[in-house]
């Protein structure tokens, strides 16, 4: 009875200085049923070269490899926390010789073996909270890996179709130079007939030179784009990409079904990452509160000692100990840790809410921009038809001396600018579709953490 009263009084004394704020409730956890697995959205483009590039990147990307190592680091922390909830067992063995330095000369050998076991009883669940916090951090890091993989696939897709746009623009530029050279022939012929001045010929030659200068710029841009692709793949910038000549702008497949926005958004890895980061802070706060409370641990030790090794186990002394410990005064350190943990929890709660808002806006904006760009491209096609008709009519009139050369030059520049604009707008449309796929999230990368953990040295 006296022992119970002593323990109770000690508990009341230790708890008297503790603060116990309410732990804010967690928001709705993303449902596991809403997760999209193997969402290889880029395959919707039916571009075998792009598929191969992304498959290579998922295997070879250095940034993705680094993200996997961060997952393993978080898993190691989780394993450490789980191990801390288990009893610990230690053993020591010593052998020594004692010599008498003064007096009667004598020698004595001593042998000692000790076995110690200890275990802290998780009275208030703080170890469980610490383990749960580490598990949530591990899950957040896994979602960060999915975010990295989605970003990598999107960046490679954009880089690939940007390369396609530049290559097609280069081909178009060569065709435009041919058209300009035909107009130059007409200009020279008209000059020979005395219907215009040599200035018209010079202006057309100058225009051709400007087109040829654009060819050099586009060639340099194409090389830069290839180097960018290599870097995304985790390769040397000077590596050869044999499929680059096959890069083409593609017609887009039907727009994907967005479905119920809330369901789709909860499946996004960045949303789940924000949730698990908040969950980790939630458990850290609970642990900080419970760290103010006393801890109770039990230990068992056995000691065997003898002057003869063969008799070492003849006498064994066992000792069992129960220990209750707590902080009487720390200058407010633990109270400050609780308050800091609470501030972190509130910060991550706001971050989670902001992530949801941004995710919702990204989906709406990507779908809206693609819709508006499609309408713009339809109008651009109509402008191109008119521009071609105008150039043909102006060339004919110029040949017969009805209009001046400036009319032909203006029509020529207008048409060729629209043709180049058409390619750039097609690329923009593809980028908006990539942004839409990216905003819908969904995991597609597999990472066997347990297998890598067990075979870490390989």
For residue range 139-196, what is the model confidence (pLDDT) as tens digits?
A: 999 999 999 999 999 999 999 999 999 999 999 999 999 999 999 998 998 888 887 8
Query: N- to C-terminal Cα distance for the chain?
Result: 59
Report the b/e string of 309-339 with b at 16+ CB within 10 A: eeebeeeeeeeeeeeeebeeeeeeebeebbe
Given a cut of 70, is residue 262 above it in pLDDT?
no
Average pLDDT over residues 61-89: 92
Given a cut of 90, is residue 388 above it in pLDDT?
yes
**pLDDT of the residue at 13:** 47
**pLDDT of the residue at 22:** 65
Find the angle CA(53)-CA(56)-CA(61) to the nearest 5 degrees: 110
Model confidence at 132, pLDDT cuts 50, 70, 90, reads: very high
Question: What whole-number distance in Å separates Cα of residue 46 and Cα of residue 221?
Answer: 26
Given a cut of 60, is residue 272 above it in pLDDT?
yes
Which domains occur in the chain, in start order? 21-85+122-292+332-454 (1.20.1600.10), 90-121+295-326 (2.20.200.10)
52-56, 383-387, 436-440: the lowest-pLDDT one:
436-440
The secondary structure of 82-102 as a DSSP string is: HHHTS-EEEEEEEEEEEE--S
Given a cut of 80, is residue 16 above it in pLDDT?
no
Q: Token digits for 294? A: 């006393």
Inter-residue contact 163 to 226 (CB < 8 Å) = yes
Instruction: Tell me the residue length of the chain.
Output: 458
70-79, 106-115, 307-316, 348-357: the lowest-pLDDT one:
307-316
Average pLDDT over residues 242-263: 80
Question: What whole-number distance in Å separates Cα of residue 377 and Cα of residue 364?
Answer: 20
Question: What whole-number distance in Å separates Cα of residue 250 and Cα of residue 247?
Answer: 9
Taking the whole predicted model, whether its pTM rises above 0.85 is answered as: no
What is the residue whose two structure tokens read 């103010």? 292
**pLDDT of the residue at 314:** 72
Rg (CA), the chain: 37
Q: Is 318 helix (H, G, I), strand (E, B) or coil?
A: strand
Inter-residue contact 123 to 296 (CB < 8 Å) = yes
CA of 37: how far to CAs of 142, 235, 359, 391, in Å? Answer: 14, 28, 19, 53
**pLDDT of the residue at 50:** 95
**Residue 100: CB atoms within 10 Å:** 10
Percentage above 70 pLDDT, the chain: 88
**pLDDT of the residue at 364:** 87
Q: Which of 23-27, 192-196, 289-293 has the highest mean pLDDT?
A: 289-293
Average pLDDT over residues 41-65: 92
Q: Token digits for 219? A: 């060639």
Given a cut of 60, is residue 8 above it in pLDDT?
no
Inter-residue contact 49 to 243 (CB < 8 Å) = yes
Given a cut of 60, is residue 446 above it in pLDDT?
yes
Mean pLDDT of the chain: 86
Q: Which of 15-24, 301-310, 322-331 has the highest mean pLDDT?
A: 322-331
Q: Token digits for 333? A: 């350190």
Inter-residue contact 360 to 265 (CB < 8 Å) = yes
**pLDDT of the residue at 33:** 40
Q: Is 160 helix (H, G, I), strand (E, B) or coil?
A: helix
**pLDDT of the residue at 14:** 47
Given a cut of 90, is residue 38 above it in pLDDT?
no
Q: Please report which helix (H) or strand (E) contains residue 262, including its range.
A: helix 261-266
**pLDDT of the residue at 35:** 47
Cα–Cα nearest to 376, from 428, 417, 437, 438: 428
**pLDDT of the residue at 326:** 85
Question: What whole-number distance in Å separates Cα of residue 413 and Cα of residue 390?
Answer: 11
- In tens, the pLDDT along 315-342 reads 788 888 888 888 888 888 989 999 999 9
Higher pLDDT, 129 or 258: 129
Average pLDDT over residues 73-78: 94
Percentage above 90 pLDDT, the chain: 54
Question: What whole-number distance in Å separates Cα of residue 355 and Cα of residue 265?
Answer: 10
Q: Which residues pair with 297 in a beta bridge?
A: 120, 323
Average pLDDT over residues 124-129: 90
Question: What whole-number distance in Å separates Cα of residue 24 and Cα of residue 118?
Answer: 34
Model confidence at 106, pLDDT cuts 50, 70, 90, reads: low
Cα–Cα nearest to 131, from 85, 72, 87: 85
**pLDDT of the residue at 458:** 60
Given a cut of 70, is residue 31 above it in pLDDT?
no
- In tens, the pLDDT along 365-382 reads 988 899 999 999 999 999
Average pLDDT over residues 9-15: 49
**pLDDT of the residue at 192:** 84
């Amino acid at each position: 009875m006296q022992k119970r009263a002593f323990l109770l009084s000690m508990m009341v004394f230790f708890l008297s200085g503790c603060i116990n704020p309410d732990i804010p409730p967690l928001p709705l956890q993303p449902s596991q049923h809403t997760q999209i697995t193997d969402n290889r959205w880029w395959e919707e483009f039916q571009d075998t070269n792009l598929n191969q590039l992304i498959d290579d990147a998922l295997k070879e990307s250095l940034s993705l490899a680094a993200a996997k190592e961060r997952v393993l680091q978080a898993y190691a922390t989780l394993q450490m926390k789980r191990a801390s909830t288990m009893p610990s067992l230690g053993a020591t063995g010593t052998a020594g010789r004692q010599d008498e330095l003064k007096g009667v000369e004598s020698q004595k050998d001593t042998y000692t073996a000790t076995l110690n076991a200890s275990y802290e009883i998780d009275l208030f669940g703080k170890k469980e909270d610490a383990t749960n916090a580490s598990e949530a951090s591990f899950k957040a890091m896994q979602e960060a890996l999915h975010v990295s993989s989605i970003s990598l696939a999107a960046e490679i897709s954009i880089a690939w179709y940007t390369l396609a746009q530049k290559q097609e623009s280069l081909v178009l530029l060569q065709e435009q130079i041919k058209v300009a050279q035909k107009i130059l022939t007409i200009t020279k012929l008209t000059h020979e007939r005395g219907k215009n001045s040599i200035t018209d010929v010079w202006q057309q030659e100058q225009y051709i030179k400007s087109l040829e200068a654009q060819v050099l710029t586009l060639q340099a841009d194409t090389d830069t784009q290839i180097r960018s692709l290599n870097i995304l793949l985790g390769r040397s910038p000077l590596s050869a990409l044999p499929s680059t000549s096959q890069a083409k702008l593609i017609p887009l497949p039907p727009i994907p079904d967005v479905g119920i926005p809330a369901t789709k958004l909860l499946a996004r890895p960045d949303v789940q990452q924000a949730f698990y980061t908040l969950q980790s802070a939630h458990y850290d706060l609970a642990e900080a509160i419970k760290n103010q409370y006393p801890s109770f641990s039990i230990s068992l030790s056995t000691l065997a000692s003898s002057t003869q090794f063969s008799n070492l186990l003849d006498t064994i002394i066992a000792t069992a100990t129960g220990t209750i410990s707590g902080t009487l005064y720390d200058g407010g350190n633990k109270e400050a840790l609780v308050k800091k943990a609470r501030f972190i929890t509130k910060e991550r709660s706001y971050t989670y809410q902001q992530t949801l808002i941004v995710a919702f806006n990204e989906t709406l904006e990507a779908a809206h921009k693609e819709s508006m760009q499609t309408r713009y491209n339809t109008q651009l096609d109509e402008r191109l038809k008119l521009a071609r008709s105008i150039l043909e009519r102006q060339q004919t009139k110029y040949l017969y001396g009805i209009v001046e050369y400036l009319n032909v030059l203006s029509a020529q520049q207008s048409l060729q600018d629209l043709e180049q604009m058409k390619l750039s707008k097609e690329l923009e449309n593809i980028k908006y579709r990539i942004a839409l796929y990216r905003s819908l999230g969904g995991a597609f990368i597999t990472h066997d953490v347990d297998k890598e953990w067990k075979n870490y040295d390989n």
